Amino acid sequence: MRFFESSDCSFRTVCARFAAAVLLISSSASAVVPASADEQDVPWTHAISMHGSPALEPGESFPYANPSAPKGGTITLGVQGTFDSLNSFVVQGGWTSARGMRERQFGNNILESLLVRSYAEPFSLYGLLAQKVRMPDSREWIEFELNPEAKFSDGSPVTVEDIIFSLEIIRDKGRPPYRNWYASIVEKQITAPNRLKLVFENGDNRELPLLIALAPIFSKKHTDADNFDKSSLNPPVGTGPYTFKTIEPGRLVVYEKNPDYWAKDLPVKAGIDNFDEIRIEYFRDETTLQEAFKKGLVSALQFRDPARWKTGFDFPAAQNGDVIKQAIPRGVPAAMQGIAFNTRREQFSDRGVRKALRMLFDFEWVNRNLFYGLYTRTAGYWDNSELSSIGRAASEREKELLAPFPEAVDPEVMAGTWRPADADGSGRDRKVLRAALDEFAKAGYSLKDRKLVNETTGNQLSFEILAKNEDEEKLALAYVRTLELLGVEVSVRSVDPSQFEDRRTKRDFDMVFNTWYASLSPGAEQYGRWSSKAADTEGSFNFVGANEPAIDALIDEIVAARSRVDFVDAVRAFDRVLISGAFAVPLYHVSDDWVAHWKQVVPPQHHSLYGHEFDTWWSASAN
């Protein structure tokens, strides 16, 4: 062991070094443990991948970043909403934390992890705070070797103790799904002063080691452990390329480049973190945000509303070329945008009711009248990818996986013939209305005096749709017009984004707009979105209250898959169960990121599979 390498070291010095090492060990970590003979055969590497091998060799940079990008200048980004916290990893404040501290589109500006993800691949991780990593094929453990240059923004070194502290503080006080992941570590072994081995109960969740490698790392010295689970505006001390310059709660956060950033010369950082300053300004509504962009107060903006994308560029700067529109292709599955049912509510506990309501969204009318025909109808949760079940009959392996749950998947979904109801665009397609009324009848509802009532209770089917902006409200009202034709009583309530998130988190809604983002490598995050355990867990992403044995079993299959073929079959079977469960009214999607920017900021020539990444852009005025 390294503590005994020096031949002229005195006994007192040896004891002092050993004592210092022991102090690094938390209450749940073992003493310094050398690797066994079998473990020594597991090679160290610069990167790991969920399936297959990482695409990049040591020293290569990410293909969606420009290593020659100049450094300097400022970018101002705008978001709708507010913020009252600087900790997105706890329940309190988790949904209303300042943007940009750690997220794909804005960058990992404050907090970093042991490994960093390449967004040019389905799920591959490369060295960052850890310069080397290794794990066996069984994935029962993972071991990291820290980069000796890794430092927090105050200049203090990152230690094994900081890693252990970070994993344990979120395990104990974080929100799901993070605390669930980190609670799966059964042993922490310090195998050398700069090495940490994390042991799991088993290797069933093959994604778990990768998720642990992406854990945010906090400074133990600067983190208030006692109050970590409370909403706070105390700036966290991280290892990222920026520090906080300005914090104006609810209005503005400014990140300032750390000139002593420890990782600026690493290959995984080539062409990334190019601005000296990142400003993120908050706007109460989408219209105000759009106007700020037109005035040049916001440098770049992603557009999600086709109407604004189609007609919102008639201002002088766009017409003379100072503002540029760019449709950036995405190589990942389409996000599932939908109006989610809270199945905890009595009126939505019957799957047949949800199916009938799902049929009554007239996509053709909405697309033509509100969105200039620019949208494609969404059907499942992994559209536009090999993971989608849409248009594909279930494979033999899928049938095996679904056999224990014969009621979980509808026959047409199993056959790959199911599609969302195809209305004629009139807003009152009689064919669809009759079919929906038949579904309501199967669920015990009938039309009486132009009201859809439950034949047992005599109560009219009624509920509220919760919206957070004018675009969602407009869409909800279009949906309501069709629902009212069948005697369904619906109200639409629009609230500010902070109240929206609060009500959504507390499950205080009937129906609510939600987006389920998709990747080419879905895994353990699906527990937080769909599992029975997450259904009633405060702060989880299981907004709909899904509580189905088939869902739980298929998530287990997804995370345990050892081959890409088995993985794809498991995801497709899972897609079929979610579709058959009718947990949401599916809406629409586009295959591109719609982004517009002023000429003062420049995007790279190549983009990631996920679309734009603002941390790869640079200033046109930088040297």
pLDDT at 19: 41
Q: Beta partners for 255?
A: 244, 278
Mean pLDDT for 178-206 is 93
Span 467-488, pLDDT tens digits = 998 889 999 999 999 999 999 9
pLDDT given for residue 20 in this prediction: 41
Q: How many distinct structural domains can be found in the chain?
A: 1
Q: Mean pLDDT score of the chain, rounded to an integer?
A: 92
What per-residue confidence (pLDDT) applies to 305? 86
In a domain, 410, yes or no: yes
Asked if residue 326 has pLDDT above 80, the reply is yes
In a domain, 327, yes or no: no
Please report whether residue 169 resides in a domain.
Answer: no
Its domain, for residue 355, covers: 336-449+510-589
Q: Provide the percentage of residues in the chain whose pLDDT is more than 90.
A: 82
Q: Is the pLDDT of residue 196 over 50?
A: yes
Q: What local confidence, expressed as pLDDT, does residue 207 receive?
A: 92
In a domain, 584, yes or no: yes
Predicted local confidence at residue 97, as pLDDT: 87
Q: What are the residues whose beta carbons fall under 8 Å from the beta carbon of 270, sequence distance 6 or more?
A: 61, 62, 65, 67
Rg (CA), the chain: 26
Question: Angle formed by the axes of helices 564-581 and 549-560, to 10°?
Answer: 160
Cα–Cα distance between 30 and 205 in angstroms, integer? Answer: 23
Can you give the pLDDT at residue 38?
A: 65
User: Is 579 contained in some domain?
Assistant: yes
Q: What totals of helices (H) and strands (E) does the chain contain, helices first?
A: 19, 26
Q: Is 476 left (phi over 0), alpha (psi -120 to 50) or beta?
A: alpha
Q: What is the pLDDT of residues 492-509, one digit of tens each?
A: 999 988 889 889 988 999
pLDDT of the residue at 81:
87
Residues 6+ apart with CB under 8 A from 7: none
> Quick one: pLDDT at residue 537?
87
8 Å CB contact between 556 and 203:
no
Contact 560, 204 (CB under 8 A): yes
CA–CA dist 562, 570 (Å, integer): 11
Q: Is residue 6 pLDDT above 90, yes or no? A: no
Closest CA to 261 of 172, 82, 92, 129: 129
Question: What integer is the mean pLDDT of 369-390?
Answer: 95
Residues 158, 488: Cα–Cα separation, whole Å: 59
pLDDT of residue 27: 40
For residue 61, the Cα-to-chain-centroid distance in whole angstroms is 24
pLDDT digits (tens, 9 = 90+) for 146-162: 999 999 999 999 999 99
Quote the pLDDT of residue 10.
Answer: 38
What's the rounded Cα separation, in Å, for the pair 124 and 122?
7
Q: What is the pLDDT of residue 511?
A: 98
Query: Which of 37 and 62 is assigned the larger pLDDT?
Result: 62
pLDDT at position 36 is 62
Give, as one character, the DSSP assignment of residue 166.
Answer: H
Report if residue 549 sits inside a domain.
yes
- What is the residue type of 2? R
- Kindly state whether residue 373 falls inside one of the protein's structural domains: yes
Q: Each residue of 418-459: pLDDT tens digit?
A: 999 989 999 889 999 999 999 999 999 999 999 999 999 999
* pLDDT tens per residue, range 218-230: 999 999 999 998 8
For residue 455, give both structure tokens: 């034949």
What is the value of pTM for the model shown? 0.80
- Inter-residue contact 242 to 255 (CB < 8 Å): yes
pLDDT (0 to 100) of residue 218? 97
| pLDDT score of 17 more than 70 | no
Question: Is residue 111, in this structure, part of any structural domain at all?
Answer: no
pLDDT digits (tens, 9 = 90+) for 265-306: 999 999 999 999 999 999 988 899 999 999 999 999 999 888
| pLDDT confidence tier of residue 538, bands split at 50, 70 and 90 | confident
Q: What's the rounded mean pLDDT across residues 584-613? A: 95
Residue 548 is part of a domain; what is its CATH number?
A: 3.10.105.10
306-315: average pLDDT: 92
Report the share of the chain in percent with pLDDT over 70. 93
